[in-house]
Amino acid sequence: MNPQSPEHPGIVWLNGSFLPAGEAFVSPLDRGFLYGDGVFETMRAECGRVLYLRDHLERLHRSLAALRIRVSAAAPPDWGEVVRELLERAGLHRSVASVRITVTRGAGLSPGLPEASAPTLCVTARRYVPPVPSLHAEGFRLHVFRSGFSPPLAGMKTLNYLYFLCARQAALDAGADEALILDPEGRVAETSAGSLLARTDGRWWTPSSPFRLPGITIARVSDLLAARGHNVEPRTAPVEDLVSAQTLWILNSLMIVMPVRSLGEHHFSHPAHDEAAELAQRFIAAGGN
């Protein structure tokens, strides 16, 4: 496989060492492998610069604290330097890349959430190809996933991700691009891989639920809109509220802003493709924190 292909990470950083991906191994007793006992962050890098790195690291540390996974306070990794060197070693420092930090509790079979005496730390990077302009102009088709509901750990970026993958597959099987996730009360939470931003009668709002990930992109795009005098209102919302919106966007750290053209059989009257593209460029320009 071409080492520069999007599917092949080439070089990884694992527990302090840079290694060819084919030589990087974790224990078969690692709790991330056994139980999904760990967290991760996926970030977009532009020419060696990770967008909103500080925000991602703050969310990573919040998730680690919630799961009682302690990374050594004596010698914590300099994540920014690790990512910078990995991008350079992988030949990705002049392109757009997807960077992922993964932390697990490490090996162990004890019940509960035992102390992480030797957590597994890993950083990977691969080339990322943003959606082509024609896809942005067309917009995503959204499918309501009604088999179950957003899990209790949805507020953290954990390795327990299978529910969201099942939801995405159901959307693909239905001929859609992305899945709309509902919370246990039947309210809109998020999508399988992003936050939602809607505009109804000129007012911007985002679905609010305790069963959703606090999105970094939605927060920063909300700041950009607020600077223009458009405050984004959190709102608990049934699916019907989305259908009444004129504009609906999906936001995440990689594709940034993707207009939605349809939700099931409903088509949105004003996807605002040009506005979404312009906000995405402003998001990238402001992202070097």
Mean per-residue pLDDT for 10-30?
Answer: 96
Using an 8 Å Cβ cutoff, are 184 and 150 in contact?
yes
Q: Which residue has the tokens 């496989």?
A: 1
Using an 8 Å Cβ cutoff, are 272 and 259 in contact?
yes
Identify any residues that bridge with 158 across adjacent strands, giving them in sequence order.
Answer: 39
Weakest mean pLDDT among 23-27, 69-73, 132-136: 69-73
Mean per-residue pLDDT for 12-34?
Answer: 96
Using an 8 Å Cβ cutoff, are 45 and 130 in contact?
no
The residue ranking higher by pLDDT, 178 or 5, is: 178
Residue 73 is predicted with a pLDDT of 63
Q: Is 47 left (phi over 0), alpha (psi -120 to 50) or beta?
A: left
CA dist 267 and 204 (Å) reads: 18
% of residues, the chain, pLDDT over 70: 96
In the predicted structure, residue 220 carries a pLDDT above the cut 70: yes
List CB contacts of 8: < 8 A, sequence separation 6 or more. 1, 2, 21, 126
User: Given pLDDT bands bounded at 50, 70 and 90, which one contains residue 288?
Assistant: confident
User: Given pLDDT bands bounded at 50, 70 and 90, which one contains residue 3?
Assistant: very low
CA dist 75 and 131 (Å) reads: 39
List CB contacts of 27: < 8 A, sequence separation 6 or more. 33, 106, 107, 120
In the predicted structure, residue 237 carries a pLDDT above the cut 70: yes
